A and B are shown apart, each in its own frame.
Chain A
C-alpha cells in the first residue's frame, strides 16, 4: 500500500456525516410498497394467449426475447405444389388478413436467451 501524504486537515472541523433515520426509512418504505405493487401489477401489454402480461412476465420476456411485434409475425407460407386454385386462395387470404390491432405482446413461453 502506497501511503498518500496527508494534506492539512483539522479533524475537529470535519463533519461527522451522521445520517438522519427518517429520509432513508421513508425511501425504503416507498421502495417496498413499489416493489410489492409491481410484483402484482398487470401491465397494458397483452400476452400471446390473449391474457394480460404481469410485470414479472414482461421482465422475463426481456430476458428471453419474448416480445413480439406485428412486423415479426410472418404470413402463412404458400401452399406446396403448383395448384393455381390453392395459390389463388392463399393470395386472397393473405390480402384479406386483417392487420394486427396490437402493437406489442408478450410470449410467456419464450426461452431464447437475449442475443447479447
Chain B
C-alpha cells in the first residue's frame, strides 16, 4: 500500500531524536553498573525496579518479581505485605511509567542488542501484551499462593516463575553453569531451563523484545502507570504532517499514531524522533495550550 501523504518519505528524524537514539544504549550500559555492582551485594534486601535475577553472581538488588512470588508463597504460613516492594514500584511507576523498561532494564538491553542483528522482525498482534498480566496473576501471584514453596515438582526442581524465567537462565543459570563446566563438574542447568534460554535467544532474533512484549510481568505492571505517570509523551498536532514516522520507528509495534501512553509502550522515545510527540513532565497549574492547526 502506497502512503497517500506526499511528505511521508521525506520526513526524517529530528536532531533531538537522533541524539536520543544514540544516547539510549549508553544509558542502558551505564545502568548495568548499577544492577551488576559486585560490591553491592548488601543491597539484596532492596527490590529493584527492573527485571534482573537476584541469583546472578553480580546482582546488587533483589528481583521484584522473585520477591513478589516469594511473598505470595509465604502467605499460607505468614501473612506479610511487601510494603517496600510496593512502594518502590508505585514510586517508579507514578514518576516515569515504563521508562525503566526502555532505558534501565538489563534484560531489555540484552534483547535490544539481539534485536540489532539484521534479520527481518515479525510483527505481533497487540493482544499478546495481555499475556503479561496472565503471567503476573497466574504464575507470580496465584500459583505460589496456592502451592506455597512446594511448587509443582518437575524432575529434581519445582515449577515456579523463577524456574521458568529466561532472565534467571541467562543471568544466573548460564554463569553458574559456565563456572561449573570450567571446574569440571558438568552442566548443572536443567535441560528444560536450557531449552527456555535457547528459545529466548532464537525468538529475540525474529521479534523485537519478545519477553517484554509477551511475558514480562514487571513491564506489564509498570505499564499500567503509563496512563497517568508524571513523565509522559504528549502529542503536538501542529507538528504532525501525518508521515507516520512515529509508528514506523516504534520497536514495540504500538499504534502510536493513535494513542501513545498505552500499556504496550516501553518509553524508549523512538517515536518522539518525528517531533510531533514530545517527552515531558506533568507540572501543576499548567496552562492549557490552545490546539494549533496541523501544518
B78 touches A43 (CB 8 A): yes
Which residues of B sit under 8 angstroms from A86, Cβ to Cβ? none
Q: A11-B237, A38-B84 are in contact. Are A113 and B4 (CB under 8 A)?
A: no
- Neighbour of A56 across the interface among B45, B54, B236, CB < 8 A: B45
Decide yes or no whether B257 CB sits under 8 A from chain A.
Answer: yes
Count residues of chain B with CB under 8 A from any CB of chain A.
Answer: 81
B237 touches A21 (CB 8 A): no
B244 touches A4 (CB 8 A): yes
Inter-chain CA distance A103–B88, complex, in Å, is 28
Q: A21-B282, A28-B95 are in contact. Are A16 and B173 (CB under 8 A)?
A: no
Decide yes or no whether A82 CB sits under 8 A from chain B.
Answer: no
Decide yes or no whether A83 CB sits under 8 A from chain B.
Answer: no
A2 touches B248 (CB 8 A): yes
Q: What is the chain A residue whose CB lies nearest that of B283? A: A21
Which residues of B sit under 8 angstroms from A56, Cβ to Cβ? 45-46, 84
Inter-chain CA distance A31–B89, complex, in Å, is 7
Q: A6-B4, A35-B87 are in contact. Are A1 and B249 (CB under 8 A)?
A: yes
Count residues of chain A with CB under 8 A from any CB of chain B.
Answer: 56
Surface stretch bound by A, among B108-116, B133-141, B161-169 = B161-169
Q: Which residues in window 194-247 of B have CB below 8 A to A?
A: 225, 228-230, 232-237, 240, 242-245, 247
B82 touches A19 (CB 8 A): no
Q: Which residues in window 29-76 of A have CB below 8 A to B?
A: 30-39, 41, 43-45, 55-60, 62-64, 67, 69
Query: In the complex, how many angstroms separate the beta carbon of B144 from the nearest chain A beta carbon?
Result: 11
Q: What is the chain B residue whose CB lies nearest that of A112? A: B55
Inter-chain CA distance A24–B168, complex, in Å, is 32
Q: A14-B235, A62-B62 are in contact. Are A9 and B242 (CB under 8 A)?
A: yes
- Neighbour of B1 across the interface among A5, A17, A37, CB < 8 A: A5
Inter-chain CA distance A23–B289, complex, in Å, is 20
A116 touches B173 (CB 8 A): yes
Decide yes or no whether B149 CB sits under 8 A from chain A.
Answer: yes
Which A positions have Cβ atoms within 8 angstroms of B?
A: 1-7, 9-12, 14-25, 27-28, 30-39, 41, 43-45, 55-60, 62-64, 67, 69, 103-104, 113-116
Which residues of B sit under 8 angstroms from A69, Cβ to Cβ? 77, 149
Q: What is the chain B residue whose CB lies nearest that of A24? A: B230
Complex A-B: 17 CB contacts under 8 Å: A1-B249, A3-B248, A5-B8, A6-B244, A9-B257, A12-B294, A17-B232, A17-B234, A19-B230, A20-B228, A21-B230, A21-B284, A30-B90, A38-B84, A55-B84, A56-B84, A62-B66
A63 touches B282 (CB 8 A): no
Q: A35-B84, A56-B84 are in contact. Are A14 and B237 (CB under 8 A)?
A: yes
Inter-chain CA distance A57–B1, complex, in Å, is 59
Query: In the complex, how many angstroms separate the beta carbon of B283 from the nearest chain A beta carbon?
Result: 6
Query: In the complex, how many angstroms separate the beta carbon of A100 from the nearest chain B beta carbon?
Result: 12
Decide yes or no whether B70 CB sits under 8 A from chain A.
Answer: yes
- Neighbour of A11 across the interface among B1, B2, B77, B276, CB < 8 A: B276
Which residues of B sit under 8 angstroms from A60, Cβ to Cβ? 44-45, 62
Q: A31-B87, A31-B94, A114-B66 are in contact. Are A6 and B44 (CB under 8 A)?
A: no
